[in-house]
Amino acid sequence: MRACWAMFAGVWALASTAASTAQEKKLPKQPVEIRAERLRVEQKERRAVFEEAVEARQGTLTVRCRRLEVSYAGEKDRRARAGEILLMQFSGEVEIEQGERRGHCQQASYDRPAGILVCTGDPWVTEGPNRIAGERIEYLLEAGEVRVQRPRAVIRVEDTAPSHPEGKRP
């Protein structure tokens, strides 16, 4: 859904939540709802281009951007039935929301049959006070896995120790 591996435990806790629920694991099978100001359909290329104030929703995943190009399967495509979405390419201030997680990048590509969302162009994701950024973030939605190239992370660790030693107060 790019971190510092020195904080592996904290990073893994944040990253592993990107696709952990049963509902999220079923995303590729759920319908995709898309809204925008304009739509151009190119029948021969099996492509639809949505522009301005684009919002795409599938289950708990919402993506907003300026432009979305959708490629869909033809009669002979083996990855999906004719007319089903194969690839969604988002561009222009891409904002991603899923539960408490928020993400941002300049471009994102969603391979729907594979259930993989790839973010590039200064991508980052936050959950609560934690933040992961890097060159490229891949969300493997069905596997519940996040892969980050050249990761950087800020992980907040709650202080669980008492502020005063037991029995002693200032």
Q: What are phi and psi of 13, to 5 degrees?
A: -60, -40
Residue 168 lies in a domain: no
- Domain of 141, in residue numbers: 5-154
SS (H, E, C) 20-69: CCHHHHCHHHCCCEEECCEEEEECCCCEEEEEEEEEEEECCEEEEEEEEE
Percent of the chain with pLDDT over 90: 49
Residue 11 lies in a domain: yes
Residue 118 lies in a domain: yes
Q: Token digits for 48?
A: 């639809």
Q: What is the tally of structural domains in the chain?
A: 1
Greater confidence (27 vs 142) lies with: 142
Residue 130 lies in a domain: yes
Residue holding tokens 């800020």?
154
Mean pLDDT of 82-110: 92
Residue in 49, 52, 30, 31 with CA at minimum distance from that of residue 41:
49
| Cβ neighbours of residue 124 closer than 8 Å, sequence gap 6 or more | 2, 103, 104, 105, 131, 132, 133, 134, 137
Position 73 scores a pLDDT of 85
Measure the CA angle with vertex 64, ends 59 and 68; round to 5°: 100
Residue 169 lies in a domain: no
pLDDT band at 24 (very low <50, low <70, confident <90, very high): very low
- Give the pLDDT confidence of 70-95 residue by residue, as tens digits: 999 887 777 777 778 899 999 999 99
Residue 166 lies in a domain: no
- Give the pLDDT confidence of 116-125 residue by residue, as tens digits: 999 999 999 9
The phi-psi region of residue 122 (left if phi > 0; otherwise alpha if psi is between -120 and 50; otherwise beta) is left
Residue 20 lies in a domain: yes
Residue 170 lies in a domain: no
Amino acid in the structure at residue 95: E
Position 170 scores a pLDDT of 56
Residue holding tokens 């995709």?
32
Q: What is the CA radius of gyration of the chain?
A: 19
